[in-house]
Structure 1
């Protein structure tokens, strides 16, 4: 039985084997007592017997080193697989980026258990979730029900899809940011036109003041810059007569920029928009 908990953006999926370990402990104790009875309660003879010694050693190993539970922690951009022994020590930990996960699937096998699990050779059937990446395929769950697998698989698939979709958007934004940054290396006139085109495309601009001039940029070039919707800027500044002769510095890169009046800026923007409409 799995336990799924959610806290903020973190999801924890835990499979506990404590009950199973207790069952095995009781079984081994029963066999030890049975052997003790068969040896007429002679403790030295029982200890020297290979079969009873094997049961006794296995009981100790399971009690202290058996797998207590397995855990998947799903973070914002990666998952963490952990295996914890009965002595509360982590015996396995693996961090997997969500971007690396190709697919997940259910795997059932016979006598193909993982060597870290001392219960493998007692219960020979393995049923676990497989997580396939470009480099390696990882396993989760020793004895996992198919219904539990479906629950875990659904959560993982949704998280991976969500992350990859966000990553695509972030990559596009990053690439666009780099393209806009490159504009500021152009000459003043070419830079001016490209920035106006970018403002029209992005439908936003960044505005700030330098002395008596307005600074207009396609990207945030200053901590004092304020992001403004293009149409709000058009109505509040470009369309108002009191700003017609206001000086505007467009595309200032720390060295120079194109200085125009607000009315000239409006004229150039309208021309670019009209040209686009004509070509359409």
Structure 2
């Protein structure tokens, strides 16, 4: 255990230092994740008529939380892994005594730490512009939402990493993520809360992994009515499914990997 902790801390320190070298780029990445803030203005205006079941203030809080969760769960491993395979950079990592995936996990964790100051500054600016939207969430909602965000990130990472393994067979595995992202965009709650979906559509969507990546942790923090136990069971179920698929693809992909130096 001590050796594992030492390896983990070393990876985090190295990748955190790497991320700090690109602080300007991090600011741009934070700003590119501000789509929820733009949508917030649209839905706040639309909610003036009272047709969507949420008040303008509730919409403002919802999209603020969406922005925060997006900052915590954004994943890009498929593009990095695709380069590793196509350019042969995976070869030296296969010689190391740890699974190459932990390099990507450490990179994502370090990037979270590096981008947080910029995200917090934007949240503070939001409350200056919309002081009426300020609220103190219930402690139970904070705990459950935090747990859901951690599991949601793990699921999001595992899904994209599973698609990334198709780089062993094709040079454009990222095309799978681009198609998946369209579904993620519309069904995860990023564009609109699930409350405005027709009841039948909402019931179908809840059987997919998408709402548990954004909407579910948002609803827990804001106190929206959700099935807490069912939600966490769904996350665990989808995570297990993709983990099994991921490990099978990894073993099959290594059998035919022919990168430089492999």
TM-score for the superposition, normalised by structure 2: 0.27
Question: Which is higher, the Rg of structure 1 or of structure 2?
Answer: 1
Higher strand proportion (structure 1 or 2):
1
TM-score for the superposition, normalised by structure 1: 0.25
